[in-house]
Structure 1
């Protein structure tokens, strides 16, 4: 009887051991999550509005921008852009067209502080003038593809030697979509 009891006990224990081995189910490792974050590199387009101040006149400004950024090092953003602005007041209206270079530093992942310089032309019905601009701005990433920016530049007429270095000041705010 003892042998029968030992045989039954051994059979039950070996069945439990075999069943326990079946509980181990091979699984693949969990995927690693990578945050999308903000990418300042690549093509962007945007719209902007603001004001422009001459010594004797104030103008409204609406326009657009298209540009391309790249990051040669961590926290450093370089780029080129083209802008087109329509300017108007109760006396004169015209267009300003610039090709600019930008260089900036990421203060955080979502904040770009930059300097800007460019050459362009002002065109109205009665004159065309070659102009330059120097200034800077701050751009805030709202999402990984949308940013807002504020910019202030001084502008001058590089063909007129009798004028001060900056004839005008322009301030704009805008929104951009990054591809």
Structure 2
């Protein structure tokens, strides 16, 4: 009876050990998180083109016609930084060709931008800076600009923007208003 009991004990132990090893083969896994899109990346270099108009009052801007509405075509290059989420800081250079009766003019602006990323796809910003107007046969004249705009991402790298800037002339003419004109544009920009 001792040999038989020994065989039964070894067989029972082998069954228990194999059952314990089979339970160890199941590897617990954690579910993988679902992928979420990161949204539009507003930081970095961008460039684009715009169309719009330049509007002047009776004081006008030097090198531009007074009390007139003129068509403009231009471009801009800039860079954005996210200073602290959702605050956006940027620097931009704009150049516009202004179509006038007679002699056309050029307008160049260097702007600083401060804005807020409202959603992943929308930025609202204020802009201000200095520049000049230029026309053949005349001297360049210094101007300043203050305004703002809204920019909306339409693809992973392309955005559409609407911007309005009040324009003032640095000339110290009596009766001169703070803003002697305005520039309103709509543009398409590629973000690198």
Question: Which TM bucket (shorter chain)?
Answer: 0.7 to 0.9
Higher strand share: 1
How far apart, in 2, do the equivalents of 1:83 and 1:57 lie?
Answer: 21
Q: TM-score, normalised by structure 1?
A: 0.82
Q: Which one of the candidate residues 91, 107, 119 is aligned to 2:118?
A: 107
SS state at 2:155 partner: coil
Alignment correspondent of 1:166? 179
Does 2:54 match 1:58?
no
Alignment of 1:83-122 (within 5 A): 83-122=94-133
| 1:44-80 superposed Cα distances (whole Å, 9 cap, x missing partner) | 1111000111122111111101001111111110110
Structure 1 residue 26: Cα displacement? 8.5
How far apart, in 2, do the equivalents of 1:36 and 1:137 lie?
Answer: 24
| 1:116-169 superposed Cα distances (whole Å, 9 cap, x missing partner) | 101001111132211111111011111231110100111011123332211111
Structure 1 residue 92: Cα displacement? 3.0
Alignment correspondent of 1:125? 136
Q: Which shifted more, 137-146 or 24-33?
A: 24-33
How far apart, in 1, do the equivalents of 2:142 and 2:173 lie?
Answer: 13
Alignment correspondent of 2:164? 152
Structure 1 residue 19: Cα displacement? 10
RMSD between superposed Cα atoms in Å: 3.0
Runs of at least 5 residues in structure 1 that lack an aligned partner in the other structure: 1-5
SS state at 1:40 partner: coil
Structure 1 residue 29: Cα displacement? 7.3
Q: TM-score, normalised by structure 2?
A: 0.77
Number of aligned residues:
178
